[in-house]
């Protein structure tokens, strides 16, 4: 009799445990040890960050400077971005006829789409990029006498002053390449290609293009004293 009572008690106890473990409100557990595991808080990078368990606002300086948003811009130079907002990537030419037509059309472009008020900054960055990317062949003076050419490893690099070029044609060649020069679209984004084009034209071509002809009555002193900034051009 005693054994039967113990067996019945054990069966009821086991049944109670099983029922409690299998049933109950799963979405609202009676005791929560780790609330983050039950109620995860996902951060929206475009919204203001808040502490999920208090009214205390996030005071991390980087977030505060960004209006509280947790999505911060990548470090400059780490992720390609079109900060200039220029969308002028033309369709790549499929054959020589398309290339020549595009090059001829580019010669008519005499101003860049960059902001005119940033001309000095654009020229400074254009010079930095030119010295690092182009001067090895074209030379720091734009005379086609870079160290690679002087070493005898490469030849036939033209002098900018002797070429019929415009800001648009320089950008076109940087984008698509020309003759033995390959495209630099993979090394320079669209804005920086315009900056290099601005620097090349204003530094190596504009001074000769705007120089007073020898037959003109202007004196040598007047020509040499002309401010260099007058020849600079950018987006109107």
User: What's the CA gap between 161 and 156, in Å, rounded?
Assistant: 15
Residue 204 located in a structural domain: yes
Q: In the chain, what percentage of residues exceed pLDDT 70?
A: 61
Confidence band (pLDDT; 50, 70, 90) for 103? Answer: very high
pLDDT tens-digit series, residues 63-74: 667 666 666 677
Give first-to-last CA distance, the chain, whole Å. 106
Residue 187 located in a structural domain: yes
In the three-class reduction of DSSP (H, G, I as helix; E, B as strand; rest coil), residue 129 is classed as helix
Model pTM above 0.85? no
Residue 160 located in a structural domain: yes
CATH code of the domain covering residue 187: 1.10.760.10
Compare 18 and 204 and report the one with higher pLDDT.
204
Please tell me the total count of domains within the chain: 1
User: What's the CA gap between 161 and 211, in Å, rounded?
Assistant: 12
pLDDT tens-digit series, residues 196-226: 999 999 999 988 766 545 444 443 343 333 3
Q: Which residues contact 14 (CB under 8 A, 6 or more apart)?
A: none
The number of CA neighbours under 13 Å toward the Cβ of 82 is 7
Residue 171 domain boundaries: 117-208
Residue 200 located in a structural domain: yes
User: What's the CA gap between 226 and 72, in Å, rounded?
Assistant: 47
């Amino acid at each position: 009799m005693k054994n039967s009572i113990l067996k019945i008690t054990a069966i009821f106890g086991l049944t109670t445990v099983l029922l409690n473990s299998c049933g109950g409100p799963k979405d609202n557990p009676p005791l929560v040890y780790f609330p983050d595991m039950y109620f995860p808080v996902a951060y929206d990078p475009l919204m203001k960050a808040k502490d999920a368990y208090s009214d205390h606002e996030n005071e991390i300086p980087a977030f505060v400077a960004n209006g509280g948003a947790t999505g911060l811009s990548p470090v400059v130079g780490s992720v390609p971005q079109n900060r200039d907002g220029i969308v002028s990537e033309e369709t790549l030419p499929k054959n020589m006829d398309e290339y020549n037509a595009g090059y001829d059309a580019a010669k008519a472009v005499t101003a860049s789409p960059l902001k005119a008020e940033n001309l000095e900054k654009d020229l400074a960055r254009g010079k930095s990029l030119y010295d690092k990317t182009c001067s090895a062949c074209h030379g720091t003076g734009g005379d086609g006498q870079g160290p690679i050419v002087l070493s005898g490893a490469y030849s036939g690099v033209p002098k900018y002053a002797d070429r019929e070029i415009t800001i648009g044609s320089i950008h076109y060649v940087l984008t698509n390449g020309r003759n033995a020069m390959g495209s630099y679209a993979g090394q320079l984004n669209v804005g920086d290609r315009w900056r290099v084009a601005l620097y090349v034209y204003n530094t190596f071509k504009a001074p000769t293009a705007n120089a007073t002809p020898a037959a003109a009555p202007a004196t040598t002193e007047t020509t040499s004293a002309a401010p260099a900034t007058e020849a600079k051009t950018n987006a109107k």
